[in-house]
Structure 1
Amino acid sequence: MIRQILKDETGAATAEYAIATMAAVGFAGLLVVIMRSDEVRTILFDLVKSALSFTNPNGEAAPAN
């Protein structure tokens, strides 16, 4: 009887989904805390701004083709 109880996997998938969901929520919470930092926000803003700008790394305007 004990072996039968230990081998029963009813609800195992549900428990795995719950653990994965909790890990995702924890990761999302960590990202929210990190993104509230002014330093991180400034770094990311500058990174996106430089990626979308038409200047080279030296600050000069890119030549028109």
Structure 2
Amino acid sequence: MSTAEYALGTVTACAFAAVLFAILTSDEVRDVVTRIVTDALQIDG
């Protein structure tokens, strides 16, 4: 691969990471994950 292809791959990976970070740190996603973990750890009885 040429240097330009490596640069494009790096930029794409960084952009994908930024999108994932924005999604995973949003309030809605944080609330859903917290609810799932709380429900999973809750013991009935």
Q: TM-score, normalised by structure 1?
A: 0.50
Identity fraction in percent: 40
Task: Give 1:13's aligned amino acid.
Answer: S
Structure ranking higher on relative contact order (CA contacts 8 Å, 6+ apart): 2
Relative to 1, partners in 2 of residues 1:54 and 1:45: Cα closer, same or farther, differing over 3 Å?
Answer: closer
Aligned length: 43
Runs of 4+ displaced beyond 3 Å: none
How does the TM-score come out when normalised to structure 2? 0.65
Deviations 1:12-40 (A, max 9, x none): 52111111110110011111211231111
Aligned partner (choices 10, 22, 26) of residue 15 of structure 2: 26
Q: Which has the larger radius of gyration?
A: 1
Unaligned runs of at least 5 residues, structure 1: 1-11, 56-60
